[in-house]
Structure 1
Amino acid sequence: MSTSPLHAAAAVLEAAGVGAHSRLCCALSGGVDSVVLLDLLAGLQARFGFALSAAHVNHGLNPAASAWQAHCAALCSHRGIPFAAFSVDVARDDPEGLESAARKARHAVLESVACDWLVFGHHRDDQAETVLFRLFRGTGLRGASAMAAVEPGAEGRAGRLRPLLGVGRAAIRDWARVHALTWVEDDSNTDRRFARNDIRHRILPAIETAYPSASASIARAAAHFREASDLLDELAASDERACGGRMLVSEVLLALSDARVANLLRWQARCCGMAAPSRARLLEALRQLRAAPAVRPLHFPLGDLVCCAYRGEVWLEPVGGGLPTPCHWVGAAEVEKPWGVGKVVFSPAPGRGIVRAAMDQAAKLSLVTRPVGLRMRLAPERPSRTFKNLCQEAGIPAWMRERLPVLEIDGRVAWIGGIGVDVAFACPPGGEGVVPEWVPVSS
């Protein structure tokens, strides 16, 4: 016996820990799925005590778009539910198509809503269609896991709830008819030129002719895929710790199998909020990492990210990332300062690094990119060297040179990340020193 939409929705809210402290925003398109969702949430509000609002996104792609918005506003007004409408410009030249462009624009504006949970009307048939769509495009395990009923938020981002994910389309329409709900029909949903519509109206029905419970089975398989994907994420987190953190120790990393290295790098990419690199690019990056000597630098593009290897460490950073903004301060030498996508850490070290008094007594401390005409002398017996000479002698590759942090004390260069301390600021043996350490990627 199938679970009713009301019981299914309540179970998801309970699983998410929704209560009197929670703010829920229903993504209301005006279609039957979101209208039923709004009806269910309104009915459950007294039981759970959450604050409920609704948001509509007007894409401006259909002549009836304004009427749909007005219908959503009227539904909310009748129930006394706070309502907000947003208009978006959808890119017509998105390489992934108009559907994808509209979805990205919609989700981007919904992220601006002040709430704890964004609530969507996706159901079991949507889940099956999503799995098939992604499988046809050659997705990996995580992509095949499709949508989750509960996705907790992170770093100020609202979580996502899909209370109807276990409910079929037919049951949702039955609920709407029994409760005399009114909704709008988007004629573009029947246009089979769109891939998802073709799956919905031609491919999935054909499958269900031979396998009547196909939608439920595919949705159930998605849950299995998600469980396996979660286990791979746990493995990646464990491997990252074993390899030293976000800055991966090359020797330890390359002792892992290719599959585990690829899994770790994909997971790190997602943790950075980036799309996972393609399998082909990952395998080529791994081939180059294994083929190159440990001391050889690597700067290999992986789509939105770059795989970097330098001095026995491997890390990912955004394309064009790491280009820092100068910062200035006065005060204690033992500080941590951001630098691009990484940081510079100043730690006390007797007899090493920069003489502490020079930093403590400075009127201005600055971290900057290399100034014009930069020269530095690393030892009393050595001559002053140009920045280019210093980088060549230190084996610093060209792609890293523009991002090297340069510490200036009252306008004089005292230290360059990856190179060393100028002799004029070097801490004598037995003196109080401060050692700067440049970490290219924040851990």
Structure 2
Amino acid sequence: MLAAAGVAPGETLCVALSGGVDSTVLLHILARLRGRCGFTLAAAHVHHGLSPNADAWLEACRASCDILGVAFHPFRVHVRRDDPAGPEAAARAARHAALARVPCDWLAFGHHQDDQAETLLFRLLRGAGVRGAGAMADVERGTPGRLRPLLGLRRAQIAAWARARGLTWVEDESNADERYARNLLRHRVMPVLEEAFPGTVPVLARAGAQFREADGLLGDLARLDEAACGGATLERAKLLLLSDERVRNLLRWRIRAMGLEAPARARLVEAVRQLRAAPEQALRLPLGAAVCCAYRGRLWLEPEGGRAVHGTTVWHGEAELPWGAGRVVLAGAVGEGLSRAVLDRAREVVLGPRWAGLALRAGVGRPRRSFKNLCQEAGIPAWLRDGLPVLSVDGAAAWIGEFGVAAEFRCAPGEPGVVPIWER
């Protein structure tokens, strides 16, 4: 499994070591394999402080690592017992945040087939979609990657292996507390299901694998739909030719690709309804952690609260400058855009946000128009205005995204020029 995952000689594997039987067995198995496979082994233990036995568990993990000659990384975290998400979720978040600080190439977890079945059932009961129902993968690539080498084994098999080799481990008393939803499933629901339907655990584990496969195919479909609709900034008309289901799938996939949590299905349903009801109207549709923006035939997603861009960047001749989540490309041209000679003579060329009193003359002989009037005449909604990039030359506006180049900075026919292109 390690070779199939791509674990290379010289890389570091770190076991998430709780001290329970599952992670203890995983630690011992990997300790046996490290010489043959050439990886370096470490272990990390997170002390949550929720149990009176937490100090003893940490020392037991340290002792196991000392015996095996494994580098040990202990972490002490604070978990609020009154966390709105519940103590389970709070402890899990604190644990993952601590493990993310371990210097390693792979994190290895002792999850097994019973954990997989319980996770699938738990998520389905909470209304998970295809992605959530995929439960846990045996290999997740990333920085670091994640491995679950025991995922195909039952809990009883792992415990039997440990007993046969005389291993010792700690028992977390909270695992018997049925006030926690997962423990309730483990101790009361799963035994009933297994009695009524022999093979429940492997069947649920197989279903999780099928859900993960389906989620991968939905991702492939989203990539195809994204390319067909214009790429990063989507063409609204082409997007609305897709079925509602495919539009929602694409938006959900794009939000996850931004590293944000996917919104509830009801929000996506309402967003697609509004897009279809007003196909030409400028819209800003909140989707939880992200916002769906539609304007002038284009549609894009941005983080909630990420519209206004307050920083400035001095231009020194670069081909592009960052702007919010996108960029402004400054492409060379002849007879169009900004006069290159004017830019070369300028003391300072700056890309930044609008300022008080900002105005621009769109054509020779035409009056200067205030930024507000330009936006009103062009129908640019208020929510988009703070995010418009402005290129200033020695303090004067030379170009504004959506409006173009000011007349006094425009390139003459046949003259070298620079064309600013805003890519959201």
Correspondence list, 1:163-202, <5 A: 163-202=149-188
**Residue 300 of structure 1 corresponds to which residue in structure 2?**
285
Residue pair 2:313, 2:351 contacting (<8 A) in 1 also: yes
How far apart are the structure 2 equivalents of 1:402 and 1:377? 20
What is the Cα deviation at residue 288 of structure 1? 0.6
1:366 pairs with 2:350: yes
1:250 counterpart residue number? 236
1:72–1:413 Cα change, 3 Å: same
Give structure 1 stretches of 5+ with no counterpart.
Answer: 1-11
User: How far did 1:256 drift?
Assistant: 0.6
Please tell me whether the aligned partners of residues 222 and 253 of structure 2 are also in contact (alpha carbons under 8 angstroms): yes
- In the alignment, what sits opposite 1:423? 407
Q: Which amino acid aligns with 1:428?
A: A
CA offset digits 1:299-337 (Å, max 9, x no partner): 1111111111111111111100133242333432x5211
Q: Would you say the 8 A contact 1:328–1:367 is kept in 2? A: yes
The residue that corresponds to 2:125 in the other structure is 136
TM-score (norm 1): 0.93
User: What is the correspondence of 1:71-86 to structure 2 with a 5 Å cutoff?
Assistant: 71-86=60-75
1:304 aligned partner, one-letter code: A
1:58 to 30, 35, 47: 47
Contact 2:307 2:386 in 1 (8 A): no
Distance 1:358 1:101 in 2: 57
Partners of 1:219 and 1:106 lie apart in 2 by 25
Query: Matched residues in 2 for 1:90 and 1:341: separation?
Result: 33
1:236 positional shift:
0.7
Q: 1:285 aligns with which of 251, 265, 271?
A: 271
Find the aligned partners of 1:54 and 1:94 in 2 and give their Cα distance.
28
Choose which of 373, 377, 389 in structure 2 pairs with 1:405.
Answer: 389
Counting matched residue pairs gives 424
SS of residue matched to 1:160: strand
Report the counterpart of residue 8 of structure 1 in structure 2: none
Which deviates more from structure 2 when the two are superposed, residues 56-65 or residues 361-370?
361-370
- Specify the alignment match of 1:152 in structure 2: 141
> Bigger CA drift: 360-369 or 72-81?
360-369
The answer to whether the 8 Å contact 1:322/1:342 transfers is no
Over aligned residue pairs, what C-alpha RMSD do you find? 1.3
The alignment status of 1:214 with 2:200, answered yes or no, reads yes
Q: Structure 1: how far apart are the matches of 2:167 and 2:308?
A: 54
Report the identity percentage.
Answer: 58
Contact 2:309 2:386 (8 Å CA) reproduced: no
Q: How far apart are the structure 2 equivalents of 1:310 and 1:400?
A: 9
SS in 1 for 2:291: strand
Deviations 1:225-256 (A, max 9, x none): 11111111111111111111121111111111
CA distance in 2, matches of 1:331, 1:395: 33
- Residue of structure 2 equivalent to 1:23: 12
What does residue 262 of structure 1 align with? 248
Residue in structure 2 matched with residue 225 of structure 1 by the alignment: 211
Corresponding letter in the other structure for 2:414: G
- Cα distance in 1 for residues equivalent to 2:296 and 2:400: 16
Which segment drifts farther, 375-384 or 209-218? 375-384
Name the structure 2 match of 1:331.
Answer: 316
**TM-score normalised by structure 2 residue count:** 0.97
Residue 320, structure 1, aligned to residue 301, structure 2? no
1:343 to 300, 316, 327: 327
Distance 1:68 1:282, change over 3 A: same
Q: Deviations over 1:56-91 (max 9, x none)?
A: 111111111111111111111111101111112224
In 2, Cα distance between the equivalents of 1:360 and 1:197? 69
> Secondary structure of 1:47's partner?
helix
CA pair 258-94 structure 1, distance change in 2 beyond 3 A: farther
Q: 1: CA distance between counterparts of 2:316 and 2:222?
A: 40
3-state SS of the aligned residue for 2:260?
coil
Corresponding residue SS for 1:349: strand
Matched, 1:387 2:387: no
Per the TM alignment, residue 151 of structure 1 is displaced from its structure 2 partner at its CA by: 0.6
Residue 119 of structure 1 corresponds to 108
How far residue 381 of structure 1 moved from its aligned partner, in angstroms, is 2.5
Structure 2: give runs of 5+ residues left out of the alignment. Answer: none
Q: Provide the C-alpha distance between the structure 1 equivalents of 2:85 and 2:187, rounded to a whole number of angstroms.
A: 21
Q: Which amino acid aligns with 2:91?
A: A
1:436 correspondence with 2:411: no
Moved more, 38-47 or 91-100: 91-100
Name 1:110's counterpart in structure 2.
Answer: 99
Q: Residue deviations 1:230-283, cap 9 Å, x none?
A: 111111111111111121111111111111111111111111111111110001
Partner Cα distance (1:270, 1:384) in 2: 43
**Contact between 2:15 and 2:107, CA under 8 Å: does it hold in 1?**
yes
Distance 2:172 2:342 in 1: 70
- Residue type of the alignment partner of 2:28: D
Query: For residue 191 of structure 2, what is the aligned residue in structure 1?
Result: 205
Secondary structure in structure 2 of the residue aligned to 1:104: helix
Give the structure 2 partner of residue 95 of structure 1. 84
- Paired residue secondary structure (1:433): strand
- Aligned residue in 1 for 2:296: 311
Post-superposition offset of 1:93: 4.2
CA contact (8 A) 1:325 1:339 kept: no
Kindly provide the amino acid, as one letter, of the partner of residue 144 in structure 2: A
SS of aligned partner of 2:334: coil
Q: Which residue of 2 is the match for residue 414 of structure 1?
A: 398
Select between 108-117 and 166-175 the one with higher mean Cα deviation: 108-117
Once residues 82 and 227 of structure 2 are traced to their aligned partners in structure 1, the CA distance between those partners, rounded to angstroms, is: 42
CA contact (8 A) 2:312 2:353 kept: no
Aligned to 1:3: none
The alignment partner of 2:183 has SS state of helix
